[in-house]
Amino acid sequence: MFKIFYPHCYVEDVFSIDYEKLMTMGFKALILDIDNTLVPHGDDSTTAIDDLFNRLHAMGWKTLLLSNNNRKRIERFMTNFNTLYIEEAGKPNPACYHRAVKMLGVEPNEALVIGDQVFTDIFGANRAGLASILVKYIGYYKKEKKGIRRNLEKVVLWFYRHHKPVLDASINTAINNSDNHE
């Protein structure tokens, strides 16, 4: 019932991913969300994120920021590194994911989506036929009021964890401690 919302794997954060192993599996491109995936909502990039992008590019990864934010927000975010981007993307519309794959110059099976929202990032990736990794949204452990979407995501993720679907077991093996996340 919820399978269209299931990520291929669920991890703590973007630093928990073994990008070298994913490359050996044939992935060449990363399509990333910004807010609550890479930094808290609305924040500028951090040194750690800048270093991550620079390391990914040095490894040979192609990257693209896929965001529903406007151009000004995205360009402010990527001040210290260069990458492709699509602003005001319209996620979860699969067309924006197809456009991202085309801009990256890869085949759909060579691209991987990384995001924090089940109903936008992961749902859109699945509808577009792309592999996906869900990260815990930044702020997950804070005791602040959560929106209705985040509460609905908890229901989907409960089914995901308890039915242990393996949409692509090989992606799960490339993630550090992927089974330890709630």
Query: Is the pLDDT assigned to residue 180 strictly greater than 80?
Result: no
CATH of the domain at 163: 3.40.50.1000
The pLDDT value given to residue 6: 87
pLDDT digits (tens, 9 = 90+) for 124-142: 999 999 999 999 988 655 5
What is the reported pTM?
0.85
| Boundaries of domain holding 72 | 3-180
Q: What is the distance between the alpha carbons of residues 176 and 62, in angstroms, rounded to a whole number? A: 22
Domain count within the chain: 1
Mean pLDDT of 40-69: 97
